[in-house]
């Protein structure tokens, strides 16, 4: 039993910190490599999804909404300015659209301001 608590310096010579440090470094390298692999895989998947032909068509359609619906909105606004009955219908429709979240109003723009253009998609 006294051998178990022996403070002799000859027993300390058998311990080497090389193996625990080697295991730690190899584990760290594997963990960082796996994280980089997953990040690259996710990035390539998102690029593939974003640059698909159907995505580009959808983005072009969303960006050209003002060209398609701008004249209809202008006609509705002009009709609402001329006819009080149409103005109340238009006002109710706009309020219903705002309440349901279909219409978003930018604060501080007023009622006669032109809608903001959609932002261009960021290209990596």
More confident residue, 37 or 73: 37
Rounded mean pLDDT of 26-31?
Answer: 98
Q: What is the three-state SS of 50-64?
A: HCCHHHHHHHHHHHC
Domain ranges of the chain: 18-52, 64-100
Using left for φ > 0, alpha for ψ between -120 and 50, and beta otherwise, residue 101 falls in left
Q: What is the chain's mean pLDDT, rounded?
A: 79
Which distant-in-sequence residues (6+ apart) come within 8 Å of 90 by Cβ? 76, 77, 79, 80
**pLDDT given for residue 19 in this prediction:** 92
Identify the DSSP state of 9: T
Could you tell me the CA-to-CA distances from 60 to 26, 43, 83, 111, 124 in Å, in that order?
Answer: 48, 23, 35, 27, 18
Contact assessment for residue 37 and residue 114, using Cβ atoms and an 8 Å cutoff: no
Rounded mean pLDDT of 79-93?
Answer: 85
Rounded mean pLDDT of 77-93?
Answer: 85
């Amino acid at each position: 039993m006294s051998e178990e608590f022996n403070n002799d310096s000859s027993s300390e010579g058998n311990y080497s910190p090389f193996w625990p440090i080697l295991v730690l470094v190899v584990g760290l390298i594997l963990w960082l490599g796996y994280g980089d692999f997953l990040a690259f895989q996710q990035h390539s998947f998102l690029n593939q999804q974003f640059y698909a032909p159907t995505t580009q068509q959808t983005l072009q359609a969303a960006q050209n909404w003002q060209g398609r619906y701008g004249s209809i909105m202008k006609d509705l606004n002009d009709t609402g300015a001329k006819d009080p009955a149409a103005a109340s219908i238009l006002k109710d429709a706009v309020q219903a659209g705002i309440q349901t979240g279909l219409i978003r109003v930018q604060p501080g723009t007023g009622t006669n301001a032109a809608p903001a253009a959609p932002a261009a998609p960021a290209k990596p």
